[in-house]
Structure 1
Amino acid sequence: MNTPQTGILAVVPDHARYISFQLSDRTALEVTLQAIAAQADGERVVVGIGLSVVEALGQHIPGLLAGPRIDGSLVDIPCQPIALWLWLRGSSRGELLHVERHWVELVAPAFSRQHSIEAFKYDTGRDLTGYEDGTENAEGEEAVAVASVMAPAADALVGSSYVAVQQWLHDFKTFDAMTDAEQDNTVGRHRISNEEFDDAPESAHVKRTEQEAPTPEAHVLRRSMPWSAGNRAGLVFTAFGHSLEAYEVLLTRMSGAHDGIIDGLFGFTKPVNGAYVWCPGMRHGQLDLRALGL
């Protein structure tokens, strides 16, 4: 049976690069995807396929969308569809520079690079605001069930994952002007102890994204990492799931489309791009692209 790409379930690395590509040459698509499947190990290089590639191949991945589009959202949620997504994971910036060079050249026959975002682990896995990220993540077999498609789905889909990726840009001047209590109320947790408090306002992030609150429950596996470029910085939000439904439920609540209450995070940070992709599972040590007709 297929298994998820191992980098999805592993802890976030010390350094990473998120690279997005657009489809540039349909005639070279099949051979390029086969080269990707042969070289990607799913651990140091996690691969995601966008809707435009699926459609170019005349195939269908159930539930795959190009990116977030939340009806009734009270905030701007950008959608910038991508064709190919690579999450490069490593231990040093220099290492990943050379890995990125290799992969950009490998996929060049069919794909052109759109964005490259340099990310890193901060402290023990915190956002640059100092708050711990992914505190409600499932672990072990529960994490596998949350993050990947399980049987009895079609064999070629088992072990695959749906991924929501958003790059958030923080306004640190606004955040720093808030008192400690205001910051904690915005998140709904104490920054130092990481404990949630029951009397947090309904706009607190933990209230907006409480995975047990919706019916059915909306669980995702977060693997987000901070990013920086010059004096700009924020968080690359990355959520894996066995579908996109849970993430869309949470984003609907964050955006105010559910009940008119906007997540307090929007007071000091905002998404500047966002897309959905599908990560094939691994079969016999390679990416399983049978669902794409390959």
Structure 2
Amino acid sequence: MQDSTTVTSQSAHQSGIFQPIPPLARYAFFSIAQSTDATALKTALQRLQSVVDGETVVAALGPQLVNTLTANVPGLREFPVLTSPDGLVIPSTPAALMLWLRGSDMGDLANRTRALEKLLAPAFGVGVVVDAFRHGDPEAAHGRDLTDYEDGTENPEGEEAEAAAFVQNTAPGLDGSSFVAVQRWLHNFATFESFSTEERDHIMGRRLTDNEELEDAPESAHVKRTAQESFEPEAFVLRRSMPWLQHEQGRDASGLMFAAYGKSLDAFEAQMRRMAGLDDGITDGLLRFSKPLTGAYLWCPPMRNGQLDLRLLSI
């Protein structure tokens, strides 16, 4: 089921960003291989350019890659390390390239990942691959976090979503592009499950039973920390987050693969700073049971004639 966001026929963005989250996905993060020069990188990106459709595969380029090519993408920068007043570190883990593979069959996603690794070698090497999935009613407008709370309730819709997520009215090669902040959050479910139902609702700022916002929620409630219209300027982003799960060291580790797309990185950064308590000393209640393991900023080029538009990289 499609949500209420619609795409204008003139849009040149990667359409997978605007579509609802898929049943299954893979986030493949690539690094630049040692001793790889700009010519080899451009050759690999030309191969990638011909196979990324922007829908089943969404491509995002990191500052390191852009800088290595001596190119310039206005507004692109590295994810900052942030430290909350109580000492919690919001980490920065830069990536040269991220491919978000979207689909409904894990075998197909695995095969496509392997094909993309081969396509990009030897200039790029795959580092981390995170498998993700949609949780909750498949017919609902939004998926759910593994805490069972709805994710993306406050997403803008329609033209407002397009205005929030994509660069417009600037220059060819930049218009239609999007900046994305990606974080892998690890949940501590033993801690979360020790909270009462009321305490969980107050952490989120919404009731689990009906998703209604709580008027009496504390200032630390996630809803209040990230109320997009409460910032100056307003900090609207388009969330496309998905739960992740992997078994390691004899136990399940899981959480949320957070992804926020924007016309710039400023809106997300404003939200993250407030969540960390850097504005007023009040940290987001989410940090009581969840922590980010990674953090990266990347740029999603627009599409042109059915291919990635890499003219800003002179490709």
Q: What's the TM-score, normalizing by structure 1?
A: 0.97
Q: 2:91 aligns with which of 65, 75, 78?
A: 78
Distance 2:267 2:172 in 1: 22
CA, structure 1 residues 251+145, in 2 after alignment: closer, same or farther (shift >3 Å)?
Answer: same
Deviation at 1:282, TM superposition (A): 0.5
Deviation at 1:69, TM superposition (A): 3.0
Distance 2:154 2:76 in 1: 25
Q: 2:14 aligns with which of 5, 30, 35?
A: 5
Q: Any runs of at least 4 consecutive aligned residues in structure 1 with deviations exceeding 6 A, and if so which?
A: none
| 2:40 counterpart of 1:43 | no
Q: How many residues align?
A: 293
Question: Which residue of the partner structure matches residue 112 of structure 1?
Answer: 125
Given that residues 143 and 221 in structure 1 are in contact (C-alpha distance below 8 angstroms), is that contact kept between their aligned partners in structure 2? Answer: yes
Amino acid at match of 1:246: A
Which residues of structure 1 form unaligned runs of 5+? none
Deviation at 1:89, TM superposition (A): 0.2
Distance 1:71 1:226 in 2: 25
Question: Which residue of the partner structure matches residue 128 of structure 1?
Answer: 146
Q: Cα RMSD (Å) of the superposition?
A: 1.2
Q: What's the TM-score, normalizing by structure 2?
A: 0.91
Question: Which residue of the partner structure matches residue 161 of structure 2?
Answer: 143
Deviation at 1:72, TM superposition (A): 6.3
Distance 2:166 2:31 in 1: 25
| 2:284 counterpart of 1:277 | no
| 2:71 counterpart of 1:59 | yes
Which runs of structure 2 are paired with 1:1-294 in the superposition (5 Å)?
Answer: 3-24=12-33, 25-26=36-37, 27-70=39-82, 74=86, 75-124=88-137, 125-151=143-169, 153-230=170-247, 231-294=252-315
Which residues of structure 2 form unaligned runs of 5+? 1-9, 138-142
SS in 2 for 1:169: strand
Distance 1:145 1:119 in 2: 27
Amino acid at match of 1:239: A
Distance 1:215 1:198 in 2: 22
Aligned residues: percent identity? Answer: 51
Deviation at 1:133, TM superposition (A): 0.3
Deviation at 1:93, TM superposition (A): 1.1
CA, structure 1 residues 216+47, in 2 after alignment: closer, same or farther (shift >3 Å)?
Answer: same
Q: Deviations for 1:99-133, whole angstroms, at most 9, x for unmatched residues? A: 11111111112111110000000013100000000
